[in-house]
Structure 1
Amino acid sequence: MDGRGRPWRDHRQVVNGVLWRLRTGAPWRDLLERYGPWQTVYERFARWEADGTWATLLEHVRVVRDDAVGRGEWAVAGRLHDQPGPPARRRRSQKGAADGDELEDPGRSQARQALGRSRGGLTTKVHLAVDGRGLPLSIVLTPGNINDATAFGQVLDGIRVPRSATGRPRTTPERVLGDKAYSSRAIRHLLRRRGLAATIPERRDQEANRRRRGRLGGRPPAFGKEIYRDRNVVERCFARLKQFRAIATRFDNLADRYRAGIILASLILWLREPVR
């Protein structure tokens, strides 16, 4: 029951409505009648995003579904998703109309909602860390014009899977796989400080600069082609997430709502993984 004493609408019905909207990308107002009033479904979705219910469910499923965190390799990558940018909105001063209206800074508002202008217009970049089976472990959103490497530390810090028994959550992989976007001196130093093995290809300009400096350029970073082939698990994860229309194209104005949809889709991927 809610705070006013009315009984909750059936959770299964509401969650099915949220999943239907996530799969189709339809506006909330177009929700099918069999899922109940669209306002109820949306409010339940927003409430569980705000109080962390969706994230808690995903964390619980990671523990129960016999995850392989800490025993396999993790891959990290970032991709762009199209999102039409919301217009700048006028907001009234708290002191009243006598002080006039203020224009909200569009750039600041967009950055706050993980929107940035790139070649495709206003876009959002989704950064993922996945385990060796391609199941999401960490989700970070940034504006689309932000370089992938800047979010690398946030992605690693976001990995936290509690153990089924006692003990600290698992946060350290055996190896980190990443594409050339993560080939930077800062990232390699970060991984060495944390004692993490890495398989990240060197960019051509970095290789050319190292060779031009001769002995001062140092040795090339270790790279195993056979190991790097396993990095495609993160690409397959993106492909599976894009089966949800509301993730393949961002329709949510609020970044928190969009991220909640990604968490819910990730929860579905974990539930589909067979128990070992």
Structure 2
Amino acid sequence: MPVRLHITAGQASDKTVAPLLLDELPPGIVVADRGYDSLALVERVAARGGGEAHIPTQSRVRLQRSVPPDLYRRRNLVERYFCKLKQFRRIATRFEKHAVNFLAAVALASARIWLRSIESAP
């Protein structure tokens, strides 16, 4: 389930805002895909005290970091959230053209996703 939302320009890399989002969360284990492979990001997670980054390196990097496969599979939870989010037509088609309105639509859709998970919990 989403905890923090932040919107960037379409051409911006996600790892530009990753430090901002991580600073708002308590230190812990960070699992990300190869798109977030950045030594600065890994060091930032470690410097926050008690944090541990599990981010595989890109294939072009000489020194490869390994990630336990069972932990890396948990990254699928994020992908499933995006699939649920794209069930909302307004979000999938980027109906809102202004960033503030689009972020508000994503926040509303995320709230509905949270509510559905609470309703279906035993």
* TM > 0.5 fold call: yes
Letter in 2 for 1:256: V
> Which residue pairs with 2:20 in the alignment?
154
8 A Cα contact 1:177 1:199, kept in partner: yes
State the alpha-carbon separation in 2 of the partners of residues 144 and 266 from structure 1.
Answer: 20
Structure 1 match to 2:48: 194
Alpha carbons 2:31, 2:54 under 8 Å: kept: yes
Identity score, percent: 37
Confirm or deny: 8 A CA contact 2:91 2:105 kept in the other structure. yes
Q: Does 1:231 align with 2:75?
A: yes
User: Whole-Å Cα distance in 2 between the matches of residues 273 and 143 of structure 1?
Assistant: 30
TM-score, normalized by length of structure 2? 0.88
More strand by share: 1
Hey, what's the Cα distance between the residues in 2 that align with 1:190 and 1:221? 16
Q: Which of the pair has more CA radius of gyration?
A: 1
Structure with the bigger percentage of helix: 2
Q: Residues 154 and 249 of structure 1: is their aligned pair in 2 closer, same or farther, counting only changes over 3 Å? A: farther
1:27-75 Cα deviation digits (max 9, x unpaired): xxxxxxxxxxxxxxxxxxxxxxxxxxxxxxxxxxxxxxxxxxxxxxxxx
The aligned residue for residue 143 of structure 1 is: 9
TM-score between the two structures when normalised by the length of structure 1: 0.41
- Corresponding residue for 2:38? 184
Q: Tell me the equivalent position of 2:106.
A: 262
Instruction: Supply the RMSD in Å over aligned alpha carbons.
Output: 1.6
Unaligned runs of at least 5 residues, structure 2: none
For 2:29, the equivalent position in structure 1 comes to 175
Separation of aligned partners in 2, 1:221 and 1:198: 10
CA distance in structure 2 between the aligned counterparts of 1:271 and 1:245, rounded to whole angstroms: 18
**1:255, 1:244 → 2: CA distance?**
17
Q: Which whole-Å CA distance do the structure 2 matches of 1:260 and 1:201 have between them? A: 32
For residues 1-276 of structure 1, what are the structure 2 equivalents within 5 Å?
Answer: 135-157=1-23, 159=24, 171-172=25-26, 174-195=28-49, 196-206=51-61, 208=62, 210=63, 220-221=64-65, 223-274=67-118, 275=121
